[in-house]
Amino acid sequence: MSKSIADLRREYSLQRLNKTEAHPNPFEQFTLWFDQAVATKLPEPNAMTLATATPDGKPSARMVLLKGYDQRGFVFYTNYKSHKGQQLLANPWGAIAFWWTQLERQVRIEGQIEQVSPEESDAYFHSRPQDSQLGAWASEQSQVIDSREVLEQRLQQLKKEYENKTIPRPPHWGGFRLIPVAIEFWQGRPSRLHDRLLYQRTEEGSWMIQRLSP
């Protein structure tokens, strides 16, 4: 290795995040930052790390794509029989994190998980490209398979089966919504004295904002 990992660093100095300038509603603040990430043409601005845990506390994390959000929470889709799906059904709490390198920003969100309605899952499923719809049927996500050829053969079979037909949503595939109880906005600053604003939901349903030490 030409350079020590310990020597890899950059100074953050693009912007700042003040409590007085932040929107009192974290969803509105997220929209502001997300729109800026899209406008900057970052690759996959909706990519996020999803952390889950088994009922006995064993964690795991992976990248997924945000597919919608509103005042209720943040939505993503998956196979309910996958590792993450099974963990979320057994232990319905999770965390997601966005990292927008070029903007020197991070957003962390923690909360409870619920399945979205069948109608919401149907609507999103049928908005996907046909090959993606068939892929949801072809893949037994997270299960051991002998080879890639198994997947490709299954996909070809499904293409013939559903040629010129509407593809139904698999019953084992659909959406989850993370209902946030805490949302943290992180803006990189010089000398590692980063700006961190934490929004926490109160028992009354409003949001309290606090500045955290970096």
Q: Which residues are catalytic?
A: 192
Nearest Cα to 96, choosing from 58, 88, 166, 42?
A: 88
Q: What is the residue-wise DSSP string for the chain?
A: --S-GGG------S----TTTS-SSHHHHHHHHHHHHHHTT-SSTTEEEEEEE-TT--EEEEEEE--EEETTEEEEEEETTSHHHHHHHHS-EEEEEEEEGGGTEEEEEEEEEEEPPHHHHHHHHTTS-HHHHHHHHH--TT---S-HHHHHHHHHHHHHHTTTSPPPPPTTEEEEEEEEEEEEEEE--GGG--EEEEEEE-TTS-EEEEEE--
**Cα distances (angstroms) measured from residue 43 to each of 13, 32, 34, 107, 122:** 21, 18, 12, 16, 27
**Angle between helix 130-138 and 148-161 (nearest 10):** 120
